[in-house]
Amino acid sequence: MAAPCAARNWSPSPPDDDLDRAVALMREHSIRRLPFDEGDEPVGVISLGDLAVERDRGSALGDVSTAGPNT
């Protein structure tokens, strides 16, 4: 069961939160993925890779995050 390993000392963000707040939450809580919810319903997840693609596509993480699958 994964639940005991999950950190829950923070709350998911609403989907209309801005990227700066998402970055701040990820830094503050040392997390790599941030869930978004509306009320009690999960609606999505943003990752460090997503942020790298949006903010710094030329970085190593941005490049890896946009690469196609290895075949």
pLDDT in tens, 15-51: 788 888 888 988 888 889 988 888 888 888 889 999 9
Q: Report DSSP state, residue 7.
A: -
pLDDT of residue 1 exceeding 60, the answer is no
3 state SS of 29: helix
Q: Which residue is it, tokens 């707040």? A: 21
| pLDDT per position as a tens digit, 45-70 | 889 999 989 888 888 888 888 888 88
User: For the chain, what is the radius of gyration of the CA atoms?
Assistant: 14
pTM for the whole structure: 0.70
